[in-house]
């Protein structure tokens, strides 16, 4: 399987990654310098966002669907503006998919993003045992678990609603895992 992309997708994903990085860096900046908070955010949050969306794209293209990320520019501006108040609500965009997508395929495409976040969280967690605790690993773990859990909300166009419609057992097991990791 060959992944396809376009210039527009690369621009949109870059804009979204930059905005998410800036927003979380602003929230994180207390106690550390702005350059360090930008680096931490780019790795811990930006990587989680980027690979989450790539997870959706890979699975959708596996099913031979058209799949490309599109940024929601007004939401990117809102995320940065809200970060000055100490929190981030980020809806940076989504992978737009067209082609044959039934309930099962939609569920599998949807769970790919949160599953990537859980995998990243576990990698960040495991790395703490290899190289010791640091802000990148700690933040990377917490943010990726939170991203997975947040995306599992079973309403609207969230990943969770599509997964819930596809398979309630898988939905419940995944949410239980995310809650357990969140509690750690």
Query: What amino acid positions are annotated as catalytic residues?
Result: 53
Strand intervals (E) in 27-73: 66-71
C-alpha to C-alpha distance for 77 and 128, rounded to whole angstroms? 33
| Dihedral (Cα; 101, 102, 108, 114), 10-degree rounding | 70
Contacts 24+ apart (CB under 8 A), 153-160: 157/94, 159/110, 159/111, 159/113, 159/114, 160/110, 160/114
């Amino acid at each position: 399987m060959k992944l396809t992309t376009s210039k527009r997708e690369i621009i949109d994903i870059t804009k979204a990654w930059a905005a998410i990085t800036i927003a979380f860096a602003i929230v994180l900046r207390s106690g550390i310098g702005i350059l360090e908070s930008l680096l931490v955010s780019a790795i811990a949050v930006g990587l989680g966002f980027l690979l989450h969306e790539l997870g959706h794209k890979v699975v959708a293209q596996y099913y031979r669907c058209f799949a490309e990320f599109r940024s929601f520019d007004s939401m990117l501006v809102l995320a940065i503006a809200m970060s000055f108040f100490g929190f981030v609500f980020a809806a940076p965009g989504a992978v737009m998919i067209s082609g044959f997508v039934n309930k099962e395929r939609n569920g599998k495409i949807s769970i790919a993003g949160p599953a990537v976040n859980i995998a990243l969280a576990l990698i960040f967690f495991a790395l703490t045992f290899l190289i010791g605790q640091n802000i990148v690993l700690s933040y990377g773990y917490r943010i990726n678990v939170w991203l997975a859990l947040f995306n599992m909300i079973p309403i609207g166009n969230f990943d969770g609603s599509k997964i819930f419609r596809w398979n309630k057992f898988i939905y419940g097991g995944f949410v239980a895992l995310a809650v357990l990791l969140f509690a750690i």
